[in-house]
């Protein structure tokens, strides 16, 4: 029988939120973003949370309120990629022996209101044999490529992309656990800094030539990065509507 594990990335600093605490500990209503994210996770065999090293106790205190066994909290690294690798290595230790049927979802704590249907669609695609799965939504805005110039405008358009072929990628991103662990170990050198690291886990699969399947995402799965995002999230927290338009 396959097992399901979840890596919850929560090592963000919260700088762009203007917070003096890690992003995942910023409060939304009466709970932290981390608590909201944990509340919306599906049942699993174990959740591993990557946290800022200086805040492990605070994260563990929140995690202790959820699930049995409670989530495991590990120190994150210099980049998101490094933080995921740290969580995967901890998971490999406690979940050994790992089998090919074991699945892992990598999810952002900064997306605390991702609907259950998104998780279930990612898992279903993995169970049907997809080696990598991401949720995504259609791009609604016109997207243009630009380049820097020395005019007062500073940028000029170089191309307009076909938005029918573009998708805005979200989490959770799903993989067979052995596959994702091997990919992160293979590309570990890239994780040293944010500038060299891969932007998401699917990018590691793409670099290795592994096809990445896409399932529908959700407008409710917005990523909280700025104070404006936090205001939108407050509306979601107060809404009973399962989906935004």
**pTM metric for this prediction:** 0.93
Q: What is the largest CA-CA distance in the chain?
A: 62
Q: How many C-beta atoms lie closer than 10 Å to residue 1's C-beta?
A: 4
pLDDT at 241: 52
Q: Measured between alpha carbons, how far is 188 from 85 in angstroms, rounded to an integer?
A: 8
Q: Please report which confidence band the pLDDT of residue 240 belongs to, taking 50, 70 and 90 as the band edges.
A: low
Encoded tokens for 106: 């990598």
Residues 51/10, Cβ–Cβ less than 8 Å:
yes
- Architecture of the 4-138+167-240 domain: Alpha-Beta Complex (3.90)
**Secondary structure of the chain: what % helix, strand, coil (to 5)?**
35, 20, 40
The three-class DSSP label of residue 139 is: coil
Q: Measured between alpha carbons, how far is 163 from 160 in angstroms, rounded to an integer?
A: 9
| Pick from 54-68, 129-143, 178-192: least confident | 54-68
């Amino acid at each position: 029988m396959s097992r399901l594990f979840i890596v919850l990335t929560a090592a963000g600093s919260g700088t762009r939120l203007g917070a003096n605490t890690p992003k995942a500990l910023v409060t939304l209503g009466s709970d932290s973003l981390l608590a909201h994210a944990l509340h919306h996770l599906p049942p699993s065999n174990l959740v591993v949370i990557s946290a800022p090293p200086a805040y492990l106790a605070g994260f563990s205190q929140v995690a202790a309120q959820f699930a049995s066994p409670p989530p495991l909290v590990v120190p994150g690294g210099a980049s998101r990629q490094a933080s995921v690798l740290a969580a995967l290595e901890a998971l490999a230790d406690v979940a050994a022996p790992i089998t090919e049927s074991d699945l892992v979802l990598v999810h952002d704590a900064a997306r605390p209101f991702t609907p259950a249907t998104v998780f279930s669609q990612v898992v279903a695609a993995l169970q049907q044999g997809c080696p990598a799965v991401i949720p995504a939504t259609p791009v609604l805005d016109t997207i243009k490529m630009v380049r820097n110039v020395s005019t007062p405008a500073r940028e000029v358009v170089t191309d307009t992309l076909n938005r029918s072929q573009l998708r805005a990628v979200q989490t959770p991103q799903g993989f067979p656990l052995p596959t994702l662990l091997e990919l992160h170990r293979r590309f570990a050198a890239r994780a040293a800094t944010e500038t060299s690291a891969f932007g998401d886990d699917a990018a590691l699969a793409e670099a290795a030539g592994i096809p990445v399947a896409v399932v529908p995402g959700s407008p409710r799965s917005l990523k909280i990065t700025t104070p404006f995002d936090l205001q939108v999230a407050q509306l979601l927290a107060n809404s009973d509507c399962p989906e935004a338009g």
